[in-house]
């Protein structure tokens, strides 16, 4: 199948213009007017390409391909809504609707930053939250997702394409370190129980443990709060989060175990209190072996030698894996940047990824 790289680039640029922000980047909050306009634009392109489109109860858009002769299996293009949870305090909204995993009261209780519930936003955009369960499908055979890497491995290793092996599992921990709030001027260093000095040693340990385990282990301290947070008081309480991920459940558990153990040791050496709480836990999701083989074959036929890569980020494929065989392709992110105005991918990598995806879908469906 021929891919028109120039058309692809032009359409992506047109899509980017809908919801473009003055300072760079693009934001189309779920059920907002930019989101609706983008959906309409994509639907128009899908119709023009001969796809029969329909919207489901939450706003996912499906487009059945009716060209290219009668396939062995029907092929549909899926435009999934609100993977990120960038407007509402939830994520995988669209893909969870497809697997029937939206909670009974979820649409009425989850809100955006202005306090608008999902239900209200749906109604304002013409969707009926009563119908959410109708978005569920149990007839899916396979789901293949083409995505940007959102990291810098492919760019660093100069590889233009990857077949994802596993979407890493992860744990979010919250660690609270407690010490004593002493006067910063009057308390000699050797008499302190400084919660922040202890937390700093723990942050160093988190980083060292993940680095020593090597790829694909990653561990990140992204949030940290110091109390009382006064310039001249030794901190007595520090709360920080650890986001840790690994493609392998055993590897992830080893990572978590070492972090818990070393943080405990550091607290004990410094006579600090420590509490570690699991905020969130998600097992790794391996990609389907048969789909991976098809993706590798499609890549090879297209002239590319794909890398095998673990996805550190979450994707709709991990949700849909509950209902069907899933696979993913990655193309490089320039500078590894993602979730920021600088996010970009070389157009030739976009075209390559699209070619490999199209070939893989041909193999799967015909």
Question: Interface with its own copies by CB under 8 A: which residues?
Answer: 149-153, 156, 168, 170, 172, 181-191, 194, 196-197, 199-201, 203-204, 207, 210-211, 215-224, 226, 229-235, 241, 243, 245, 279, 311-314, 336-340
Residues whose CB is less than 8 angstroms from the CB of residue 94 and which lie 6 or more positions away in sequence, other chains included: 58, 59, 60, 80, 81, 82, 83, 316
Strand partners, 277: 174
Let me know: does 244 contact 171? Beta carbons within 8 Å. Answer: yes
d(CA 115, CA 135): 25
Instruction: Supply the minimum distance, in Å, between the C-beta of residue 137 and its own copies.
Output: 27
Name which of 38 and 219 has its Cβ closer to its own copies: 219
Name which of 137 and 147 has its Cβ closer to its own copies: 147
d(CA 25, CA 341): 4
Q: Residue 77 corresponds to which tokens in the numbers above? A: 């293009």
Instruction: Supply the minimum distance, in Å, between the C-beta of residue 223 and its own copies.
Output: 5
Name which of 168 and 325 has its Cβ closer to its own copies: 168
Q: Residue 141 corresponds to which tokens in the numbers above? A: 């055979």
Percent helix, strand, coil in the chain (nearest 5)?
A: 40, 25, 40
Name which of 140 and 224 has its Cβ closer to its own copies: 224
Name which of 5 and 226 has its Cβ closer to its own copies: 226
Instruction: Supply the minimum distance, in Å, between the C-beta of residue 294 and its own copies.
Output: 24
Name which of 151 and 306 has its Cβ closer to its own copies: 151
d(CA 242, CA 246): 13
Name which of 116 and 233 has its Cβ closer to its own copies: 233
Q: Residue 354 corresponds to which tokens in the numbers above? A: 């699209």
Instruction: Supply the minimum distance, in Å, between the C-beta of residue 65 and its own copies.
Output: 30
d(CA 41, CA 8): 14
Instruction: Supply the minimum distance, in Å, between the C-beta of residue 309 and its own copies.
Output: 9
Instruction: Supply the minimum distance, in Å, between the C-beta of residue 267 and its own copies.
Output: 15
What is the enclosing helix (H) or strand (E) of 310? strand 307-311
Let me know: does 97 contact 323? Beta carbons within 8 Å. Answer: no
Instruction: Supply the minimum distance, in Å, between the C-beta of residue 354 and its own copies.
Output: 21
In Å, the largest CA–CA distance within the chain is 83
């Amino acid at each position: 199948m021929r891919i028109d790289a120039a058309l692809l680039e032009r359409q992506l640029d047109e899509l980017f213009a809908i919801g473009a922000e003055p300072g760079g980047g693009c934001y189309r909050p779920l059920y907002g007017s930019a989101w609706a306009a983008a959906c309409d634009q994509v639907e128009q392109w899908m119709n023009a390409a001969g796809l029969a489109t329909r919207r489901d109860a939450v706003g996912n858009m499906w487009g059945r391909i009716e060209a290219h002769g009668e396939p062995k299996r029907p092929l549909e293009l899926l435009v999934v809504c609100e993977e990120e949870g960038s407007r509402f305090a939830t994520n995988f909204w669209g893909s969870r609707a497809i697997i029937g995993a939206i909670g009974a009261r979820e649409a009425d209780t989850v809100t955006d930053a202005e306090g608008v519930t999902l239900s209200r936003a749906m109604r304002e955009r013409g969707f009926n939250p009563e119908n959410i369960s109708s978005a569920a499908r149990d007839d899916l055979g396979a789901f293949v997702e083409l995505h940007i890497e959102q990291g810098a491995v492919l760019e660093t290793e100069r590889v233009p394409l990857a077949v994802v092996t596993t979407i890493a599992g992860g744990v979010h921990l919250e660690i609270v370190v407690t010490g004593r709030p002493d006067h910063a001027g009057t308390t000699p260093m050797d008499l302190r129980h400084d919660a922040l000095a202890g937390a700093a040693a723990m942050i160093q340990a988190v980083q060292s443990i993940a680095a020593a385990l090597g790829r694909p282990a990653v561990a990140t301290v992204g949030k940290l709060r110091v109390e009382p947070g006064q310039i001249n008081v030794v901190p007595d309480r520090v709360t920080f989060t650890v986001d840790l991920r690994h493609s392998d459940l055993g590897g992830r558990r080893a990572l978590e175990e070492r972090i818990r153990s070393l943080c405990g040791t550091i607290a004990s050496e410094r006579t600090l209190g420590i509490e570690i709480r699991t905020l969130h836990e998600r097992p790794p999701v391996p990609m389907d072996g048969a789909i991976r083989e098809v993706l590798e074959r499609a890549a090879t036929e297209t002239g590319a030698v794909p890398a095998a890569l673990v996805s550190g980020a979450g994707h709709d494929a991990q949700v849909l894996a509950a209902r069907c065989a899933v696979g993913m392709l990655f193309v490089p992110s320039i500078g590894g940047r993602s979730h920021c105005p600088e996010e970009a991918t070389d157009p030739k990598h976009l075209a390559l990824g699209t070619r490999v995806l199209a070939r893989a879908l041909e193999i799967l469906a015909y």
